[in-house]
């Protein structure tokens, strides 16, 4: 579903400004992959290039067998901040992407209602963003992304601005939706626990320059919210290895700074 080959991004000619170096990643349909790494390793840059919001210096991005170098209906992105239109109701925000793609009003409103129901916000359809909690607003953002039926869902720390309880609740909802809809999802996070909980694979990135240094398959059964996945030996083993790699990269960044 997604194939990234030899992706490079440099913001200037200075060697220290190479943000991504020979980044390769392939994802199967329905796979959930998390990118994790220290700040400045290029996680969000890679995601924005895949989304078509940022141009790569070199390399290729292919989605469902076709080159994908700009925004398209095949891809949807959910950001850390809600980015809802404050003058639109919840249902109108969900329908916004469909409106941009020229979908007739009756059809887009029917689809918007379907996805509001999917994220548990049917009763809030007529409310405005200011009337909703942070968790509810982020659920609207997820519904808006899903409503265009993307082949690839891109998520940039979508729960990073939420309190711990709301974050854990939405992780469970996202895990359920991804399994039910067989979504192919590329997810950026700073949380090892979140990455292990949600992912089929966790891809660890290093710094200076940003690059992939390791990846870990997570084979614990899904949905992981139905049992104490943290008590599984695999959880402890994978978490320890990821943290060891991240700690090395953080120390490396501090030495160079």
**Tens digits of per-residue pLDDT, 84-107?**
999 999 999 999 989 988 899 999
With a cut of 60, say whether residue 13 has pLDDT above it. Answer: no
- Separation of alpha carbons 245 and 193, rounded Å: 15
Domain that holds residue 54: 2-70+192-256
Within a domain: 36: yes
DSSP string, 135-199: HHHHHHHHHHHHHT--SEEEEESTTTTS-HHHHHHHHHHHHHHHHHHT--EEEEES-HHHHHHH-
Containing 130, the helix (H) or strand (E) segment is none
Within a domain: 16: yes
Within a domain: 121: no
Which whole number is the average pLDDT over 221-250? 93
Within a domain: 246: yes
pLDDT of residue 186: 97
pLDDT of residue 256: 66
Within a domain: 250: yes
pLDDT of residue 83: 82
Instruction: Report the percentage of the chain scoring pLDDT > 70.
Output: 98
Within a domain: 80: no
**Total domains present in the chain:** 1
Within a domain: 7: yes
Instruction: Report the percentage of the chain scoring pLDDT > 90.
Output: 67
Within a domain: 225: yes
Gyration radius from the chain CA atoms: 18
CATH of the domain at 15: 3.40.50.300
Total H helices, total E strands in the chain:
7, 10
């Amino acid at each position: 579903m997604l194939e990234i080959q030899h992706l490079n991004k440099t913001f200037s000619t200075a060697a220290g400004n190479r943000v991504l170096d020979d980044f390769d990643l392939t994802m199967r349909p329905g796979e959930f992959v998390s990118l994790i790494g220290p700040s400045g390793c290029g996680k969000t840059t890679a995601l924005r290039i895949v989304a078509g919001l940022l141009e790569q210096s070199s390399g290729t991005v292919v989605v469902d067998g076709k080159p994908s170098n700009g925004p398209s209906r095949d891809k949807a992105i959910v950001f850390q901040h809600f980015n809802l239109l404050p003058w639109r109701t919840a249902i109108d925000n969900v329908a916004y992407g469909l409106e941009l793609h020229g979908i007739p009003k009756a059809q887009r409103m029917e689809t918007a209602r379907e996805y509001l129901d999917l994220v548990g916000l049917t009763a809030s359809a007529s409310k405005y963003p200011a009337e909703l909690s942070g968790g509810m607003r982020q659920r609207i953002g997820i519904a808006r992304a899903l409503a265009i039926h993307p082949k690839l869902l891109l998520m940039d720390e979508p729960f990073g601005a939420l309190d711990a309880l709301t974050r854990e609740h939405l992780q469970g909802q996202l895990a359920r939706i991804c399994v039910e809809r067989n979504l192919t999802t590329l997810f950026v996070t700073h949380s090892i626990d979140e990455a292990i909980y949600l992912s089929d694979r966790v891809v660890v990135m290093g710094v200076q320059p940003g690059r992939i240094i390791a990846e870990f398959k997570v084979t614990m059964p899904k949905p992981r919210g139905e049992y104490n996945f943290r008590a599984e030996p695999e959880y402890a083993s994978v978490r320890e290895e990821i943290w060891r790699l991240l700690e090395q990269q953080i120390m490396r960044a501090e030495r160079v700074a």
